[in-house]
Amino acid sequence: MACSPMAFLTVFLAAAGSCLPAAAAGGPLPPAGTPLSFREGYTQLFGDSNLALHGDGKRVHISLDERTGAGFASQGAYLHGLFSARIKLPADHTAGVVVAFYMSNGDVYERTHDELDFEFLGNVRGREWRVQTNVYGNGSTAAGREERYGLWFDPTEDFHRYAILWSRDRIIFYVDETPIREVVRTESMGAQFPSKPMSLYATIWDGSSWATSGGRYKVDYKYAPYVAEFADLALRGCAVGRRACEEPGDAAAPPMSPARRSAMEAFRARYMTYGYCYDRLRYPAPLPECSVGPEAAAFLPSGDARAALRRHGRRHRTRGGADSAL
């Protein structure tokens, strides 16, 4: 399928990716920044031999087996930027397996940390992976701003780019060329909009207690090792400690183009399976940044999409409201 390119988002930030079926196009796709080798930009967190480098350190494999998972992080912290990687997820029976690609500063701010997540949730054989995005600011994990989606492709067959654009006034998550979520900073969010320097992380771990049908399906280690592959890891941001980070006016992103917004809305209408703004059980009054309109009729009081419920049957809710359906 031919993919339509995306317009330039800001002077120093760029979005990256592929395409949603029938998505509208913008201008030429800008680069996401020169990918760094592992030794140039990253450090291993845990997992000893479960992290392996390939292609002169330009590709990283992290795996989960009965001994341990694995993870790595950027060597530095960043205040705003575009952070992306091409990722290929493990195939076959992956229930309970969690692969995460995210920004965080939890190692510095234990109780008031910020976090921006892509969480990839495995499934039983024959069922698709699910993708969850989380936005936590100033330790607001109890409030929770989780969303969950299906995908229009099999993420185990090839690499796809996942990107987080983080500026002082908005956050946009991308899958290939398609923006799938935008969080615009509002006065009512206050410090709950992530605003402190964060590092980039990638991990694979055992989420058997919650990740698939509320913990009903566990990781089956007879299928191990589960290997997640990362390539083209790009850090295009404002590295803390550099003079550029201290200069004002370089961290604002312009509004999303009409073409990109149309593509995002099409994705969300078709593939969103849970939205915190529609979870009336958890939030009888939606959080202040939520703008809930007629589309709310497509969601149950639990925040689960009615269409997804029909496709996948009974759903189990966990982790403060986000579902864990098959």
Is residue 60 within 8 A of residue 51, CB to CB? The reply is yes
Q: Which two tokens stand for residue 44?
A: 């291993």
Sequence letter at residue 269: A
Secondary structure letter of residue 219 according to DSSP: -
The count of C-alpha atoms lying within 13 angstroms of the C-alpha of 303, restricted to the half-sphere facing its C-beta, is 29
DSSP string, 230-243: EEEEEEEEEETTSG
Neighbours of 80 (CB within 10 A): 25
By three-state DSSP, how is residue 160 classified? strand
Is residue 103 within 8 A of residue 168, CB to CB? The reply is no
Q: Which two tokens stand for residue 118?
A: 């892509």
Q: Which two tokens stand for residue 223?
A: 């299928």
Catalytic residues: 115, 119
- Tell me the backbone φ, ψ of residue 274, rounded to 5 degrees: -150, 140
Secondary structure letter of residue 39 according to DSSP: H
| Separation CA 232–CA 219 (nearest Å) | 28
In angstroms, how far is CA 316 from the centroid of its own chain? 21
| Separation CA 230–CA 62 (nearest Å) | 8
- Which residues partner with 170 through β-bridges? 184
Neighbours of 165 (CB within 10 A): 28
Burial track 120-132 (b if 16+ CB lie within 10 A, e otherwise): bbbbbeebbbbbb
